[in-house]
Amino acid sequence: MVLYTAGQRIRGSEINSLPQLYRVTTPQICNNSTTLRDVAGLAFAADANAAYLVECFLAYHATTGGDIKFAFAPAGLFVQGDSPVYTGSWWAAQGIDPNAAGARGDFDARIKATLTTSWERAGDNADPVLACPVAFVQIGAAAGTVRLQFAQQNLAVHDTTIRVGSCMRVSRLA
């Protein structure tokens, strides 16, 4: 990251390349639904023919029966990757599996070549859990809004919640 001194002039292109931060300000709740919905606050305007690095830090609570899933939207906005070459958009997610044996150290970072293919994570009846989806987002010829979405992986009549303070950092690469 560039360090600036007092009185130094900053070009607009430098400001535009700084990471943008987005965060959840009210709990996002899904109950008894596997239909993906937007996470309010975790969306950004993407320029046509641009590329972005998207890093999410999500604190969530889900039951072991309901679990949780994430995806990016809308599908028509992205240049799709082609596995295993990944010449377009791709994403992965890391997160502690609360149901793993031992110290809950089961991290999953399998790359998905389609941003709209959901990534599933287990819930924990007692404790909030952290998930860290990351993505390389390549936008096609049309500008639009990139949105992170979530839902229950399995129907459950218990709240699945993205907690306040969960956030997304977006860096424009090209």
Number of H helices, E strands in the chain: 1, 11
Q: How many domains does the chain have?
A: 1
pLDDT, tens digit, for every residue of 25-71?
Answer: 999 999 999 999 999 999 999 999 999 999 999 999 888 777 888 89
Q: Give me the pLDDT at residue 16, please.
A: 73
Closest CA to 75 of 118, 23, 110: 118
Residue 41 covered by a domain: yes
- Indicate whether 103 belongs to any domain: yes
Show the low-confidence residues of the chain (pLDDT under 50). Answer: 102-106
* pTM across the whole model: 0.85
Q: Does a structural domain hold residue 26?
A: yes
Domain extent for 24: 16-172
Does the residue 6 lie in any domain?
no
What's the rounded Cα separation, in Å, for the pair 58 and 56? 6
Report the chain's mean pLDDT, rounded to a whole number: 84
- The answer to whether residues 30 and 124 touch, using CB atoms and an 8 Å cutoff, is no
Answer yes or no: is 97 within a domain.
Answer: yes
Do the domain assignments include residue 100? yes
